Amino acid sequence: PLHIQLGEWAEIIVLAPLTANTLAKLVYGFADNLLTNTILASSCPILLAPAMNTDMWEQTAVQRNWQQVLTEKRYYGIHPGSGILACDRVGQGRMAEPKEIVTNIKSLLYTAGKRDLAGKKILISAGGTREHLDPVRFIGNPSTGKMGIALAQAALHRGANVTFVHSISGELLLSGVKIIEVVSAAQMQQAMLANFAEADIIVMSAAVADVKPAEYSSEKLPKRSLPNSLPLTPVPDIVAELGKLKQSHQYLIGFAAQTGDIVAPALEKLRVKNLDAIVANPIDREGAGFGSNTNQGIFLDAGGRQLDIPSCSKLEMAHHLWDFAISVISYQLSVQ
């Protein structure tokens, strides 16, 4: 029968949009059409993206069914957002954006539905900080935060509770993530320290500035008033500070954006800043580093393990990093 063939063939099933009617059928195991028959005849992960009128979504029965279906291991949900609905109203119930659905699909195809970060609290920093001279001028770098976003997405898809500290402009598409927006290194330091103690795994993927203007003007400086020589002062070394505060149950990962020899500087940073692992990132290679949709690098850990990751999407690289971290943490627990 067709539903058996489809169920055995599918690696993942996506219901987008998921209606209130089909949601109820999933909860109670109905098999009254080809879709519900196929779902019952399959064993693959099922991704759900509800979409409906706000009043329908907020009904007690619908919310109960939504929570109930997500207790089953093979169901993965993307909560609807707010916006213009099919009925021309504005409110909760708008289907997740296609880009977010595709990202979830890619993650599920990579993990085959594993939730191996379930129960873990993960703290991630992302983006390039800005150190302002005045309201319109700043010292910064080209980081777009794409790698950090991918790390947050991959961790969320694997079941983690994610806190995301960022200095990124634009839409993040990180529903289900605690998001803290910052601008400067000092603000990022404050946010990271405030959330550090409760985190199990911390990833400093942000490109934090090394220096800032020694003086800040609250009003835009006229061009004629700009100094020929700009006095600079250091900013907080956030990852080094976290390395000093790190407890035995915490796992701290850093990034080293390098040109030329990437391994030696990364190992030195790993040692000096008391990291558990580091990603040596070759930003001078095509398809890697700032602004790119792909990345590559070498994962290094304090135990001497090394893993070379060839060019791949940043989401895939994020999953490789979580695989690496999980394997190292598991090994550490086994020898304690």
For residue 35, what is the domain's CATH number? Answer: 3.40.50.1950
Here the CATH number for the domain that contains residue 231 is 3.40.50.10300
Which amino acid, 11?
A: E
* Residue 146 forms part of a structural domain: yes
Catalytic site residue 44? no
Residues 225 and 294 reside in one and the same domain: yes
Q: Give which of 127, 124, 141 is closest to 170, Cα–Cα.
A: 127
pTM above 0.85, yes or no: yes
Helical spans, DSSP H, in the chain? 2-9, 20-28, 34-40, 54-57, 60-69, 98-111, 146-157, 185-196, 238-245, 263-272, 314-335
Which single residue is written with the structure tokens 């890619």? 106
> pLDDT tens digits for 45-64?
999 999 999 999 999 999 99
The predicted pLDDT at position 288 comes to: 86
Residues 94 and 131 reside in one and the same domain: no
Overall number of domains in the chain? 2
Last residue of a domain, one of 52, 86, 111: 111
The predicted pLDDT at position 319 comes to: 98
Residues 130 and 263 reside in one and the same domain: yes
Last residue of a domain, one of 111, 138, 156: 111
pLDDT-based confidence at residue 253 (cuts at 50, 70, 90) = very high
> pLDDT tens digits for 186-210?
999 999 999 999 999 999 999 999 9
Q: Are 19 and 52 in contact (CB under 8 A)?
A: yes
Q: Are 297 and 205 in contact (CB under 8 A)?
A: no
Q: Which residue has the higher pLDDT, 289 or 184?
A: 184
Residues 296 and 324 reside in one and the same domain: yes
> DSSP character for 215?
S
Residues 223 and 195 reside in one and the same domain: yes
Residues 95 and 128 reside in one and the same domain: no
Domain that holds residue 92: 2-111
- Please report how the helices 314-335 and 98-111 are oriented relative to each other, as an axis angle in degrees rounded to 10: 40
Last residue of a domain, one of 87, 111, 135: 111
Residues 140 and 213 reside in one and the same domain: yes
Residues 158 and 304 reside in one and the same domain: yes
> pLDDT tens digits for 208-247?
999 999 999 999 999 999 988 999 999 999 999 999 999 9
Residues 127 and 63 reside in one and the same domain: no
Residues 79 and 210 reside in one and the same domain: no
> Of the residues 87, 90, 102, 112, which is catalytic?
87
Residues 91 and 168 reside in one and the same domain: no
Residues 161 and 180 reside in one and the same domain: yes
